[in-house]
Amino acid sequence: MGRTHPKLSDIEDIVRKTGDVIEDGYHRVKKTKKKLEKTWSKKAAFQYAKSLGLKPIPNLELKIRHELNKIIIQEVKGKKLTHHKVAATSGIARTTITAIMNKNLEEVSIEALLRILGGIGVKIQLN
């Protein structure tokens, strides 16, 4: 599937030349006196889902991370794995594994959660 939104570098170039504020649904870029200020648009997740033909669901990322976290905790406890063993098999830092086991998902990506699941031998099927 091809890219459906402009590259951030293209947006930055336009803002540098024109001084305009550009919001493309994914990013908001404006020129300040010293630099370009870049932020993610709050609507980005909904617009990205729409561009993929998906129905946007509020807090979808949070819900997915929460469900993956529940599976990880269940599997790690069920298999009696140490945090060190999970870290070694997944390539994720042990401190991050400990945070996940304590249900602290701040700063933990869905990709990291999926790597952990793969590392401990759990296959995820999306429907």
Domains parsed from the chain with CATH numbers: 8-51 (no CATH), 60-119 (1.10.260.40)
Residues 6, 54, 50, 26: is their CA dihedral positive or negative?
negative
- Return the pLDDT at 91: 93
pTM beyond 0.85: the answer is no
> How far is it, in rounded angstroms, from Cα 108 to Cα 96?
8
Q: Is the distance from CB of 66 to CB of 104 less than 8 angstroms?
A: no
Tell me: the pLDDT tens digits for 50-105? 666 766 666 777 788 888 999 999 999 999 999 999 999 999 999 999 999 999 88
Least confident of 16-20, 35-39, 118-122: 35-39
| CB atoms inside a 10 Å sphere around CB 10 | 12
Q: Is the distance from CB of 65 to CB of 74 less than 8 angstroms?
A: no
